[in-house]
Amino acid sequence: MTLLWITFATGFGLGLAIAMPVGPISLLCIQQALTRGFGAGLAAGLGVALADAAYGAVAAFGLTAITNFLVNLQTPLRVLGLVAMLWLAWGIWRGADTPKHLGNDVGSGAATTAQLLVLTIANPMTILTFLALFVGAGVGMAGSYEYSAALTFGVFAGSFLWWVVISGLVGILRGRINDRTLGWINRASALMIAGFAVWIGVQLAEAV
């Protein structure tokens, strides 16, 4: 039992390590929390955490065939992610001036979770990051199903807790900014997300 908890704690730390770096997905989650409140940020974070747990499970259970399949599909998946990011950036830009009291009612939690889940899954390089972290942490692959499950749940818990904290902090900040400032923050977020999409496009073009 003690070893199971150690395995869970290891996964928890790995989940935090994956969730903390700032990227386009992080910006989307923060933007959702700023525009629509704590619940929307939490729904976005749940989508990211579920995707992290899915990739963590592939790595923890040693599912080599799935890993190879996803890596082989990385180009079409990254194109899909690029298009989705541009579309979301455009939507954020168009709705940049939505008042906070109306933003609470925009969209649904399930749709937000699904969007962020798909966007995170569309980056197959995440699984390679997990594999590298697992090896670096000395975590054995394809071991006991019990320990692999504990590792996977740990990854989910670590990733999701990060977004609970971030959504809470952003929710507090949201109450202290006016609609005008929020509009400029939304525009900046849209430009940064579009910038990430362009960067991915450049990488794809160089790989051709």
More confident residue, 208 or 145: 145
- pLDDT-derived band of residue 158, with 50, 70 and 90 as boundaries? very high
Top-confidence range, 5-9, 68-72, 133-137:
5-9
- pLDDT-derived band of residue 49, with 50, 70 and 90 as boundaries? very high
> pLDDT tens for residues 94-119?
766 665 544 544 456 788 888 888 88
Residue 163: CB partners within 8 Å, gap ≥ 6? 19, 29, 41, 42, 44, 45, 46, 48, 49
Q: Examine the pLDDT at 149 and tell me if it is beyond 80.
A: yes
Residue 4: CB partners within 8 Å, gap ≥ 6? 146, 147, 150
